[in-house]
A and B are shown apart, each in its own frame.
Chain A
Amino acid sequence: MSEVLDPFSARFMQYALAEVLLLAVAGALLGAQIVLRRLSFFAHGAGTATFPGLVVAGPAGVPPQLSALAVSGAFAVALERLGRAARTTQDAATALLLVAALAIGIILASDVLVSGSSVDQLLFGSLLGIGTDELALSAGAVVLVALVTAAFDRAWVARGFDPEGASALGVPVAVADLALLLAVAVAVVASIDAVGALLVGAVLVIPAATARPLAGSVGSLRLHTLWIGGVEGAAGLWVAYQLDLPPGPVIAVLGGAMFTVVTVVAWARHGVPA
C-alpha cells in the first residue's frame, strides 16, 4: 500500500493532490447546476475564452488569474444578457466566442510566446507545477463558490426545475442566474492552473455528468460528484506520475472513461432514456 501511495510523498504531488481535491469540491458545488441547467457548453466556453487573456497577461505584466477572471467574467455577463434575449442566441454566441478566443489566443501566442510548450500549459494546465499561491487561489475560489451556492441554491433549483414559474415563487431569478454564471467563471479561473483553458470541463462538468444517473436529488448529485471528482483527480494524478504523462489530459480521459462505464451500467439497469 505504501508503494502505491509513494508518489504522493513528493511535495509537488501533495500540492497537486490538494489542488484536485479542492477542484472536486468546486465541481461538486457547481457541477450539479452546470449539468442540470445545461450549462456544460457555457463552462467549456468560459474556460476557452480565458486563453487569449492568459496569453497576453505575461507580456502585459498582469497576473494571469486576474486577466483570466476578467475575460471569463465578461464572457459570463455577455452570455447572461444574450441568454435573456433568446436561448439559441446564447448557444450560438458561446460557440462563436469559443472559436474566436481560441483563434485569437493562438495568433497572439505565435508572436508573444516563443515556446510551444507554454501554449500547451495554458491550454492543458500544469498540475505538477502547482504551488502555494495557486492552492491559495483555489481555496479562496472554493470558499467564494460555497458562499454563492448557499445564497442562491434555492433559486437555482427553482429556476432549473421550472424556468417560467420560478420568479413567482419569490426567488431572485435574474440575480441568481448571473451569480451562477459568475461563480462558474470563478471556478473556471481556479481550474486553469491545473487543467488549462481547454479542459476545465474535466473538473466542472464530467464528474457531475457521471454522477447524474446515480443521483435522485440535487444533494445526492453533489455528494456523488464530490467523490467522483476526487477519485478521478487523485487517480489521474497517480497514473500520470507512473506513466510520465501530463496529468490534466489523463484526468480528462479517466473522467470520460468513468462517464462511459457509469452511463452504460445505468442504461443496462434502467434502459436507455427516451
Chain B
Amino acid sequence: MTARALVTVNTLDAAYGDGPAVLRGVSFSAFGGRIVGVLGPNGGGKTTLFRALLGELPIRRGDLRVHGTTAYVPQTERSRLDFPVSALDVALMGAYADLPWHRRMGAIQRRAAADALARVGLEEVARTPYGALSGGQRQRVLIARALVQNAEVLLLDEPLTGVDRPGAERIESVLRDLRSEGRALLVATHDVGQARSFDEVLCLNEEQVAFGAPEPTLTGDTLARTYGGELVLLEDGGRAAVVQSHAHS
C-alpha cells in the first residue's frame, strides 16, 4: 500500500434517519500509513463519523470517499462476552462476507484467522472463549478480525478504554505495525496524551473544531471548544485530561 488518501471527506453533514444533522462541516483526509486520532466529547460525533464512513448513515451535505475495505473495531464492551465463540471464531467473522451462503468456512479462511491472531500476538489463546480473555486481548481479537477483512481503513472506537497499561502498550504496538503496512487508522479516543502520538488529530464537537498535526492543533483553545464543559485541566506541557460520562452517539 502506498501513502495515498484512503479517506476523503468534504464538508460532510451526517444524520440519523430523517432527523436533523448531528455532525456538521467535517472535512479531512486520512492517508495510508497514518493514524488519525478522533477526539471529542461523548455525543460529539465520533461514532457518528464512523457510521457515516461505513455507509450506515445518510449524508445530508458534502461527500465522502473511502478507498478499499473499511473495518470497524468496536469497543469490547459492546460485544457479547457471554456469546459462545472462541478468539478464532471471532477472527473468522472477518471472512464471513468472502464466501456465498451455501459454502462453509474452509481451511483458507481458518488459516487467515489464525494468522491474524498470530499477528496480534494471540495465537496461544485462539481456542479460548472470547469472554474469558482480558480486555486488552479482546481488543486485539477484534483488530485481528479487521485484519482478516484485509481492511485498508480501520475505524477503532476507543480501543484503549478499560485496558490496563501493558495491554494498552501492546495495542499501541499493533496500531504502529498496521500503520507501517500502509493502512489508514482512525482512532476515536478520549486520551489527549495518546492523540499527541498520532499523525493527525480530528477534533469534533457536533461539528469539526479542528484538523491537523497534533502539536499545532491541540491548543488549549481547541481543546476547550472540543470538550466544552468536559475539559477539566491543562497541565504542564499542554497535557489535558477529560472528564467523560458513558453515553455515546
Contact = CB atoms under 8 A, between A and B. Distances in A.
Contacts of B94: 169
Contacts of A161: 79-80, 83, 85, 90, 93, 130
B200 interface: no
Contacts of B142: 165
A220 B72 CA distance: 28
B71 A168 contact: yes
B78 A169 contact: no
Interface string A149-180: 01110110110111111011111000000000
A218 interface: yes
B80 A162 contact: yes
Interface in B85-137: 85-86, 89-90, 93-94, 96-97, 101-102, 129-130
A221 interface: yes
B63 interface: no
B78 A162 contact: yes
A165 B157 CA distance: 11
A217 B96 contact: no
B93 A158 contact: yes
A70 interface: no
Given A169-B149, A170-B97, A217-B85, A160 B56 contact: no
A59 interface: no
A172 to B, nearest CB: 9
B133 to A, nearest CB: 14
B74 A160 contact: no
A185 B59 CA distance: 36
B71 A221 contact: no
Contacts of A158: 93, 96
A258 interface: no
A151 to B, nearest CB: 5
Given A167-B56, A217-B84, A154 B96 contact: yes
B129 A160 contact: no
B226 interface: no
Given A150-B102, A215-B84, A216-B129, A164 B78 contact: yes
B83 A165 contact: no
Contacts of B102: 150-151
A162 B101 contact: no
Contact of A151 (B70, B74, B96, B101): B101
Contacts of B234: none
Interface residues of B, number: 29
Size category of the A interface is: 20 to 34
Contacts of A150: 101-102
Contacts of A155: 96
B233 interface: no
A36 interface: yes
Interface in A114-135: none
Contacts of A168: 54, 70-72, 155
Contact of B96 (A164, A169, A220): A169
Nearest to A36: B83
B74 A162 contact: yes
Nearest to A32: B84
A40 B142 CA distance: 28
Contacts of A216: 84, 86, 129
- Tell which of B71, B85, B155 has the most Cβ of chain A within 10 Å: B85
Given A161-B80, A165-B72, A165-B74, A152 B101 contact: yes
Interface string A178-220: 0000000000000000000000000000000000000111101
A157 B101 CA distance: 13
B54 A154 contact: no
B84 A221 contact: yes
Q: Which 4 A-B pairs have the closest CB atoms?
A: A170-B97, A168-B72, A165-B74, A161-B83
Interface of A: 36, 150-152, 154-155, 157-158, 160-165, 167-171, 215-218, 220-221, 273
Interface of B: 54, 56, 70-74, 78-80, 82-86, 89-90, 93-94, 96-97, 101-102, 129-130, 142, 145, 149, 155
Given A154-B101, A165-B142, 7 more contacts: A154-B96, A158-B93, A165-B78, A169-B94, A169-B97, A171-B96, A218-B84
12 contacts: A154-B101, A155-B96, A157-B85, A158-B93, A161-B83, A161-B130, A162-B78, A162-B93, A163-B80, A165-B74, A168-B71, A169-B96
